[in-house]
């Protein structure tokens, strides 16, 4: 399986912990949904299944987004940046990306020095 993905795995620059940040964007309305981290295994799993997998830095394990919530991400497109040290995933996000029930994890905006919740929950 890995051989099949040799090109992108050889180009990408994973950090000293073997991780690379993945920016996740709604492929339809272009909203930035979340930032997560991938190791090589998470990327290979993502490529093989078409569903986004990440490395949890807190739980120290591979996880598929939505494995418990059902809020999976079908990957529509993958791009990498000029330095090859970050990944952009365009996804079809089911329900909500954020575990707090918001569509996007970036639901707080800075306004006049304060952080203001600027979105409504899509899931209670």
Residues lying near a copy of itself in the complex (CB under 8 A) are found at: 4-5, 7-8, 11, 21, 23, 25, 29-32, 34-35, 77-83, 86, 88, 98-100, 102, 105-110, 113-115, 118
Residue pair 82/67 in contact by the 8 Å Cβ criterion: no
The number of C-alpha atoms within 13 Å of 90 and in the hemisphere containing its C-beta is: 9
Q: Which residues contact 93 (CB under 8 A, 6 or more apart)?
A: 24, 26, 33, 71, 73, 103
Residue with Cβ nearer a copy of itself (70 or 111): 111
Helix (H, G, I), strand (E, B) or coil at 86: coil
Q: Taking the complex as a whole, how short is the minimal distance between the CB of residue 73 and a copy of itself, in angstroms?
A: 16
Q: Taking the complex as a whole, how short is the minimal distance between the CB of residue 56 and a copy of itself, in angstroms?
A: 12
Q: Taking the complex as a whole, how short is the minimal distance between the CB of residue 11 and a copy of itself, in angstroms?
A: 6
């Amino acid at each position: 399986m890995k051989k099949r993905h040799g090109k992108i795995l050889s180009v990408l620059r994973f950090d000293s912990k073997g991780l690379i940040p993945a920016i996740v964007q709604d492929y339809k309305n272009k909203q930035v949904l979340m930032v997560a981290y991938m190791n090589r295994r998470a990327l290979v799993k993502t490529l093989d299944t078409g569903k986004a997998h990440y490395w949890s830095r807190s739980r120290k394990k591979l996880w598929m987004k939505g494995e418990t919530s059902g809020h999976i991400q079908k990957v529509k497109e993958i791009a990498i940046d000029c330095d090859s040290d970050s990944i952009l995933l365009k996804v079809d996000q089911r329900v909500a990306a954020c575990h707090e029930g918001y569509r996007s994890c970036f639901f707080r905006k800075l306004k006049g020095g304060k952080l203001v919740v600027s979105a409504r929950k899509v899931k209670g």
